[in-house]
Amino acid sequence: MLGIPNLLDVISNLPLAVVGVLGLRFVGRRKGAFTGSWERAAFATMFAGVGLTALGSTYYHLAPDNATLFWDRVPMTIVFMSLFAIVIGDRIGWDAGRRLLLPLLAAGIASVVYWRWTGDLKFYGLVQYFPMLAILLMVLLLPRTYTGTAWLGGAVCWYALAKIFEMLDAQIFALGQVVSGHTLKHLAAGAATWWLLRMMKVRRQTQAGMPVPHGHP
């Protein structure tokens, strides 16, 4: 369309780019919104990953092959693992989140390198799905240190919808031969990251930073 390959898959990355910029802007301006420098760095890394995902996905869809797909997948792992460390810090302990941030990021990037080297997606699949499952379990079972859990839950739901759109890619495209499930996946992923942005902006630390038992307002 308009002489641009895979146009809708390209321009549907715009929400991710916008959220990435807005997230980094907030992190840069609101230092007091975070528990320590490590958490601020984790949020900055996550929203940088969101912005880079928009760039990497655009690069891939303009010229799809395994070489460009590498640059699409690497920033996605940065988003997954940064969020995983943030929730670990909130639900398990600040020290655990701080200590695990860099190892988790390294594992995420390594999973894409391993796929590119071997063609095996199992490690990458683990990096993509395990953090989401673990985050869901932590939210349901462990006490929280911040308010705003509903926004995190919403983000997980939007991400799940994005994966459904991805699985139904061809079937959705067959309905009208214009919009594919993959395009809708990008839009749902953008919505998921917007909910993460809202979580970061509206959350408040509970009284004296003490965990609040699950189920309490």
Residue 86 is assigned to a structural domain of this protein = yes
Residue 1 is assigned to a structural domain of this protein = no
DSSP 9-28: HHHTTHHHHHHHHHHHHHHH
Domain total in the chain: 1
Residue 216 is assigned to a structural domain of this protein = no
Could you read off the pLDDT of 102-161 as tens digits, one per residue?
999 999 999 999 999 999 999 999 999 999 999 999 999 998 888 888 999 999 999 999
Which residue range(s) make up the domain with 78?
Answer: 7-205
Could you read off the pLDDT of 194-203 as tens digits, one per residue?
999 999 998 8
DSSP 135-166: HHHHHHHS-BSBS-HHHHHHHHHHHHHHHHHH
Average confidence (pLDDT) over 52-68: 95
Residue for token pair 């390959």: 5
How many other CB atoms are there within 10 angstroms of residue 111's CB atom?
Answer: 24
Residue 214 is assigned to a structural domain of this protein = no
Instruction: Give the CATH number of the domain where residue 114 resides.
Output: 1.20.1070.10
Could you read off the pLDDT of 8-36 as tens digits, one per residue?
999 999 999 999 999 999 999 988 888 88
What does the alpha-carbon distance between residue 163 and residue 18 come to, in Å, rounded to a whole number? 21
